Structure 1
Amino acid sequence: MAVKSLQYKQHTFSISYEIINPSSHIDLIFLHGWGSHKNLMKHAFGAHLKQFRHIYIDMPGFGNSTCNMALTTEDYATILESFLSMIEADKTVVLGHSFGGKVATLLQPDVLVLVASAGILVPKPFKIRAKIALFKVLKLTGLTHLRRFFVAPDAQGLSQPMYETFKNVVNEDFTEKFRAFKGKALLCFGAQDTATPIWTAYKMAELMNQSRVVEFDGDHYFFLEQGATVAKEIEKTVLESLEH
């Protein structure tokens, strides 16, 4: 594990990362999902794709990377652009899981690998909509001290900057961002995923000209057990990209 410090909007960020296969010549950058860390991605893919230089990154506020200001998804992309420049990494292939998929899209790599990516708004179940409506009523009556009972699981235990960041990024519609992506895209999604349902993958594919969807058996974290199969799809996509 290594750490680099960089400045962004008068704040210092320490970015933790790890590089595997350092002598390989094609960079493959891994971006984890919300609430996760680089080691999860390394667990899934570290033993595969040996022809690539793996770059595993803890995004600001997660794992061993710091964050003391509220960020947007665009901020994450800008910070990572600076970081990748610092370590002299190319954006040849960028893989993003869930929230990381949105950041990966903004980086505009040659090959984009979206693994159960967020970005297409999914209607909230009635139970969640009812909780939101009830909390709004409680705010009007001054009972905001009950907030902890209404906070989404992904927002629990966060520092104030990261809670504000969560509110900034949780309900983003990335439709136009996907439409603006001009590279080649591989979309790997779990058929039983309820967080980023399989239909959202096909919606993304409609928006991106050079894309294909591969369905896997499993949920939002299907890749943890099927890293080798996902790796083969990545190799196939990158090879096709290099041939054109």
Structure 2
Amino acid sequence: MAVKTVQYKQHTFSISYEILNPSARHDIIFLHGWGSHKNLMKHAFGTHLGNFRHIYIDLPGFGNSTCNMALTTEDYATILESFITMIDATKAIILGHSFGGKVATLLQPDLLVLVGSAGILVPKPFKIRAKIFLFKLLKFSGLTSLRRFFVAPDAQGLSEPMYETFKRVVNEDFTESFRAFKGRALLCFGRQDTATPLWTAYKIAELIPGSEVVEFDGDHYFFLEQGSSVAKEIEKVVLKSLEH
């Protein structure tokens, strides 16, 4: 594990990362999802894609990377742009899971690999909508001390800057960002995923011309058991590009 510091908006971010296959010629960058860390991605893909230099990054505020200010997804992308330049890496392939998929999209890699990516708004179940309504009612009544009973699982235990970040990024509509992506895209989604349902993959595919959807059995974390299958799909796309 290594650490680089990035200066952004008068704040210092310590970015923890790890590189595998350091002598390989082509880079693949892995970005984890919300509440996760680089080791999860390394567990899934570390023994695959041996012809690539793997770059595993803890996003600011997660794993061993620091964050002491509220960020937007655009802020994450800007910080990573600086970091990628700092370690002399390329944006040939960036794989992003869930929230990491949104950050990866903004980085405009040559090949974007979205694994259960967030970014398409999914209607909230009635139970969640009712919970939000009740919290707003309590907030209006001044009973904000009960907030901990209404906080989403992804927001529990967060520092104040990260909780503010969560509120900014959780309900983003990335339709225009997907539409603005100009590279090639491979969309790998789980058929049983309820966080980023399979239908959202096809919605993204409509927004990114020439993109390809590959379905897998499994939920939001299907790639943990099927990393080799995702890796093979990446290799297929790379091979196709070399043939042209």
* TM-score, normalised relative to structure 1: 0.99
Separation (CA, whole Å) in 1 of partners of 2:93 and 2:186: 10
Give the structure 2 partner of residue 169 of structure 1. 169
CA–CA distance in structure 2, aligned partners of residues 14 and 231 of structure 1: 29
1:5-84 alignment runs, 5 A limit: 5-84=5-84
Residue in structure 1 matched with residue 229 of structure 2 by the alignment = 229
Match of 2:91 in 1: 91
Partner residue in 1 for 2:201: 201
Matches within 5 A, 1:138-149: 138-149=138-149
For the residue of structure 2 that corresponds to 1:210, the secondary structure is coil
CA deviations on 1:178-199 (whole Å, 9 max, x unpaired) are 0111110000000000000000
Q: Does 1:134 align with 2:134?
A: yes
Aligned to 1:152: 152
Q: How many residues align?
A: 244
Q: CA separation in 2, counterparts of 1:70 and 1:242?
A: 41
User: Displaced runs of 4+ in structure 1, greater than 2 A?
Assistant: 241-244
- How far apart are the structure 1 equivalents of 2:160 and 2:67? 10
Match of 1:184 in 2: 184
* Superposed displacement of residue 243, structure 1: 2.8
Structure 2 counterpart of 1:181, which letter? F
* 1:239 positional shift: 1.6
1:36-92 CA-to-partner distances (Å, cap 9, x unmatched) read: 000000000000000000000000000000000000000000000000000000000
- Alignment RMSD: 0.5
The Cα shift of 1:241 comes to 2.2
Cα separation, 2, equivalents of 1:195 and 1:230: 19
Distance 2:243 2:135 in 1: 54
| CA contact 1:184–1:241 (8 Å) conserved in 2 | no
- Deviation, structure 1 residue 242: 2.8
Q: Please give the per-residue CA displacement for 1:157-202, whole angstroms capped at 9, x wherever unaligned.
A: 0000000000010000000100111110000000000000000000
Q: Quick check: 1:183–1:210 contact (8 Å CA) kept in 2?
A: no
Q: Return the offset for 1:6.
A: 1.2
Distance 1:34 1:224 in 2: 16
